[in-house]
Amino acid sequence: MMIMLTSTKPLLAVGLTLSVGAGVSWLQPTDVSAKYTTTPSSLRGKWQTHRDSNGESQFLSISKYGFYVNNFRYGRSVGQPSYFSGKRLTAYRSGYDLVVSQKSPRGYYSLGKNGTDAIWHLKKTRYHGQTVLKSWYYRLGDAVKPIGSSYYYHR
């Protein structure tokens, strides 16, 4: 059985409609994964370092889906605060803004901005009888051996 079309206009209209519909659905935003990036529950809360000899301190606020960092000098905010979200996609939808590593063998988590070197290595521990977040850091440009650590106290 052979179907004969007398006009190609209806066929052309149907084909055009399907191709435009497929193109529009292809451009719709989609999630990279089924779930958002979450922070470890042991690290959540508000944390702050003590002032150093220059009067500088750092404040961290860690929520379920976010990581906020602000620097202070003598109690005044210095520079631009940073917020990394586990719900916000990065440019080109390559992943979420916040990146969280698995727990390391020494108990540290790495939190920071996806695709950058803005990373904090944190673990919850006790220091002089207080619950603190311990952080270690490298010399700039030399990520082989940590050169120091700092402590964030619960606020």
pLDDT tens, residue by residue, 38-60: 999 999 999 999 999 999 999 99
Integer Cα distance of 83 and 37 in angstroms = 14
- Predicted local distance difference test score (pLDDT) of residue 92: 61
Nearest CA among 100, 53, 47 for reference residue 74 = 53
- Predicted local distance difference test score (pLDDT) of residue 99: 85
- Predicted local distance difference test score (pLDDT) of residue 45: 96
| Residue 34 confidence (pLDDT) above 70 | no
Integer Cα distance of 64 and 54 in angstroms = 32
- Predicted local distance difference test score (pLDDT) of residue 28: 41
| Cα distance from N-terminal residue to C-terminal residue, the chain | 81
* Residue ranges per structural domain of the chain: 41-154
- Tell me, rounded to whole angstroms, the distance of Cα 118 from its chain centroid: 10
| Residue 35 confidence (pLDDT) above 70 | yes
Residue 141 pLDDT level (bands cut at 50, 70, 90): low
pLDDT tens, residue by residue, 48-100: 999 999 999 999 999 999 999 999 999 999 989 999 888 888 766 567 888 88
Neighbour-count burial of 61, counting CB atoms closer than 10 A to its CB (0-12 exposed, 13-18 middle, 19+ buried):
middle
Domain 41-154 = CATH 3.40.50? no
Integer Cα distance of 22 and 16 in angstroms = 10
Integer Cα distance of 74 and 48 in angstroms = 13
